[in-house]
């Protein structure tokens, strides 16, 4: 617990607040003492001025009577009147020896040694008037201020320690949940996720990010597992055929016949499959972004449709291009061309004779789209989500040429360009639409 970062931060903040209370207490004490001293001095000056005026108007007897009256009043100041030779005449300070003006002194015979603040002023005819007040009131107020700030200091410490412990305990519990989830994942439980409280605080956002990362990792692991299975399945057939042909070739060689016919085509098919996998991996790695340049989709589409038009005619199919509006995007022209080639090849291969295939370039505002639609048999709704998986083929027998990587490459190219690939029924047939983001 004491190694907890949150507890140490709470302790640090508590220490800072406690130090702030101490500094504030000292400043308040000094300011209060200064203000009270100035207030008491002003009161002493006012009393002195009043008694001087009393002497001028009523004479010595008037001052003596005023001193007796003030001495009998509770809470009044201390006064003293001395004659020309310093003889005490009236008041509790009559026997006190003090210089003219302001001075501080200890009361004679006071066991506690309390200090007195005095102000001595000369009266006509050699008389001296003394007015003073002890510092007990200021010291009492100082004690009250110190006591208040002492209690505040103690309260800050108690609340800081209690709050720090509670905060640290709550944070540690949530960190322990994150650590527990990580440990479970390390042990192989990829379905484990970090609990989220729904408070939308920092730890909740961290947990959501952590869970999204785990979802992505789980999806990649599942994809890797599926790819491994698909590679094993798809490579087994051509490798088996290759082995059989090699065996037959060996037998034919021994018999003096032409050896190993058709082996190269099988090897080329295997190499093409691995080349497609490597190309998809490079695209998904984002290494081709450096080649992005402004590309006119209509020009790319025209090039591809013109290249495949003869092949479509040979298969008694029609291939047309519709350009609703020019569309320029920032991208890799080679990859975009390959993406469209794969879509057109896929349509030509799976639609059959007399099919009509349309390549369309459109624009909605600043966003562009490229689509390939046909009037073939289409794709069942349940199968559409898996069409872009690697090695996935609707034809379970895998008798037709292809590796099942064409649409996976289309998805990789679209993702590299920040585009979204969608499938929709063309009624009849299928439409594959690639929607590019708005141009900056």
Residue 265 covered by a domain: no
What percent of the chain has pLDDT above 70?
Answer: 78
CA distance 133 to 117: 5
369-428 tens-digit pLDDT: 999 999 888 887 777 777 777 666 665 545 555 566 778 888 888 888 889 988 888 778
CA distance 412 to 390: 11
Q: In which domain, by residue range, is 143 found?
A: 1-101+113-187
- CA 408 to chain CA centroid, Å, is 34
Residue 253 covered by a domain: no
Listed residue (289, 374, 389) closest to 330, CA to CA: 289
Q: Which of 228, 245, 262 is the last residue of a domain?
A: 245
Q: How many CB atoms lie within 10 A of CB 98?
A: 19
Q: Quote the number of domains for the chain.
A: 3
Q: Which of 167, 187, 207 is the last residue of a domain?
A: 187
Listed residue (36, 391, 113) closest to 227, CA to CA: 391
Residue 369 covered by a domain: yes
Listed residue (162, 165, 163) closest to 173, CA to CA: 165
Q: Burial letters for 390-422: b for 16+ Cβ neighbours within 10 Å, e otherwise? A: bbbbeeeeeeeebbbbbbbbbbbbbebbebebe
Element (H, E) at 82: strand 78-82
Structure tokens at 81: 């009147």
The whole-number pLDDT of residue 245 equals 72
The answer to whether the beta carbons of residues 191 and 27 sit under 8 Å apart is no
Same domain for 170 and 215? no
Same domain for 173 and 207? no
Q: Which of 187, 206, 232 is the last residue of a domain?
A: 187
Q: Among all chains, which residue has been given the structure tokens 């501080």? A: 104
CA distance 326 to 328: 7
Q: Of the ranges 109-118, 318-327, 368-377, which one carries the lowest mean pLDDT score? A: 109-118
The whole-number pLDDT of residue 397 equals 46
3-state secondary structure 143-159: HHHHHHHHHHHHHHHHH
CA distance 398 to 401: 8
The whole-number pLDDT of residue 391 equals 66
The whole-number pLDDT of residue 370 equals 92
Beta bridge partners of 114: none
Structure tokens at 423: 């499938």
Structure tokens at 434: 């690639």
Using pLDDT thresholds of 50, 70 and 90, give the confidence band for residue 358.
Answer: very high
How far, CA to CA in Å, does 295 sit from each of 1, 56, 181, 403, 439? 60, 108, 46, 29, 12
Tell me whether residue 31 is exposed, middle or buried, using C-beta atoms within 10 angstroms of its C-beta: 0 to 12, 13 to 18, 19 or more.
exposed
Same domain for 202 and 310? no
Say whether 434 sits in a helix, a strand or coil: strand
The answer to whether the beta carbons of residues 117 and 104 sit under 8 Å apart is yes
Using pLDDT thresholds of 50, 70 and 90, give the confidence band for residue 200.
Answer: confident
Same domain for 162 and 26? yes
Residue 81 covered by a domain: yes
Mean pLDDT, residues 198-223 taken together: 80
Same domain for 294 and 200? no
CA distance 265 to 238: 10
Instruction: Calculate the average pLDDT of the chain.
Output: 79
Same domain for 379 and 234? no
Beta bridge partners of 321: 359
CA distance 393 to 404: 5
The answer to whether the beta carbons of residues 41 and 117 sit under 8 Å apart is yes
Residue 262 covered by a domain: no
Residue 418 covered by a domain: yes
167-192 tens-digit pLDDT: 777 777 777 888 888 888 777 777 78
Residue 230 covered by a domain: yes
Cis peptide bond prior to 428, omega within 30° of 0? yes
Same domain for 209 and 319? no
CA distance 327 to 362: 7
Q: Could you say which DSSP state residue 440 is in?
A: -
Identify the residue with better confidence: 364 or 265: 364
Same domain for 153 and 292? no
Q: How many CB atoms lie within 10 A of CB 323?
A: 17
Q: Of the ranges 5-19, 170-184, 252-266, 332-346, which one carries the lowest mean pLDDT score? A: 252-266
pLDDT > 60? residue 46: yes
Q: H helices of 187-296, where?
A: 202-254, 263-284
What percent of the chain has pLDDT above 90?
Answer: 10
Say whether 425 sits in a helix, a strand or coil: strand
Q: What angle do CA 360, 364, 370 make, to 5 degrees?
A: 25
Q: Of the ranges 87-96, 143-152, 256-265, which one carries the lowest mean pLDDT score? A: 256-265
Torsion angles phi and psi, residue 82, rounded to 5: -120, 150
Which CATH number fits the domain that encloses residue 30? 3.30.450
Same domain for 347 and 240? no
Listed residue (203, 153, 213) closest to 182, CA to CA: 213
Identify the residue with better confidence: 194 or 240: 194
Same domain for 12 and 161? yes
pLDDT > 80? residue 286: no
Same domain for 197 and 169? no
Q: Could you say which DSSP state residue 100 is in?
A: S
Same domain for 156 and 203? no
9-44 tens-digit pLDDT: 777 777 787 788 788 878 888 888 788 888 888 888
Residue 313 covered by a domain: yes
pLDDT > 60? residue 197: yes
Which CATH number fits the domain that encloses residue 293? 3.30.565.10
Going by their DSSP bridges, the two strands 78-82 and 88-90 should be labelled as antiparallel
């Amino acid at each position: 617990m004491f190694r907890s970062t949150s507890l140490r931060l709470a302790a640090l903040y508590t220490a800072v607040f406690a130090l702030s209370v101490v500094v504030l207490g000292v400043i308040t004490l000094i300011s209060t003492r200064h203000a009270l001293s100035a207030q008491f001095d002003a009161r002493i000056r006012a009393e002195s001025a009043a008694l001087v005026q009393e002497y001028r108007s009523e004479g010595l007897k008037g001052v003596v009577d005023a001193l007796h009256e003030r001495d009998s009043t509770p809470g009044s100041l201390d006064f003293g009147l001395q004659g020309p030779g310093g003889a005490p005449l009236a008041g509790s300070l009559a026997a006190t020896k003090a210089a003219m003006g302001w001075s501080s002194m200890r009361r004679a015979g006071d066991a506690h040694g309390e200090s007195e603040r005095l102000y001595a002023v000369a009266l006509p005819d050699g008389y001296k008037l003394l007015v003073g007040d002890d510092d007990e009131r200021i010291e009492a107020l100082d004690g009250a201020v110190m006591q208040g700030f002492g209690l505040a200091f103690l309260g800050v410490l108690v609340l800081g320690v209690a709050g720090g412990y509670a905060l640290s305990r709550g944070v540690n519990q949530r960190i322990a949940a994150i650590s527990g989830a990580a440990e479970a994942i390390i042990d192989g439980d990829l379905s484990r996720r970090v609990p989220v409280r729904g408070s939308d605080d920092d730890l909740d956002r961290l947990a959501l990010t952590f869970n999204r990362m785990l979802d992505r990792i789980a999806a990649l692991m599942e994809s890797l597992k599926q790819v491994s299975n698909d590679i094993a399945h798809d490579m087994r057939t051509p490798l088996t055929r290759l082995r059989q042909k090699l065996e037959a070739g060996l037998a034919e060689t021994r018999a003096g016949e032409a050896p190993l016919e058709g082996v190269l085509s099988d090897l080329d098919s295997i190499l093409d499959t691995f080349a497609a996998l490597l190309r998809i991996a490079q695209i998904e790695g984002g290494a081709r972004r450096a080649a992005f340049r402004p590309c006119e989709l209509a020009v790319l589409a025209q090039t591809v449709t013109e290249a495949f038009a003869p092949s479509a005619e040979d298969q008694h199919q029609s291939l047309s291009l519709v350009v609703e509006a020019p569309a320029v995007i920032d991208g890799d022209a080679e990859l975009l061309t390959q993406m469209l080639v794969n879509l057109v090849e896929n349509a030509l291969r799976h639609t059959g004779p007399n099919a009509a295939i349309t390549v369309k370039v459109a624009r909605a505002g600043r966003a562009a789209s490229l689509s390939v639609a046909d009037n073939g048999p289409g794709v069942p709704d349940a199968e559409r989500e898996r069409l872009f998986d690697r090695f996935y083929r609707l034809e379970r027998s895998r008798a037709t040429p292809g590796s099942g990587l064409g649409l996976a490459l289309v998805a990789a190219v679209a993702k590299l360009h920040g585009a979204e690939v969608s499938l929709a029924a063309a009624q009849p047939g299928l439409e594959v639409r690639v929607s590019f983001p708005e141009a900056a």
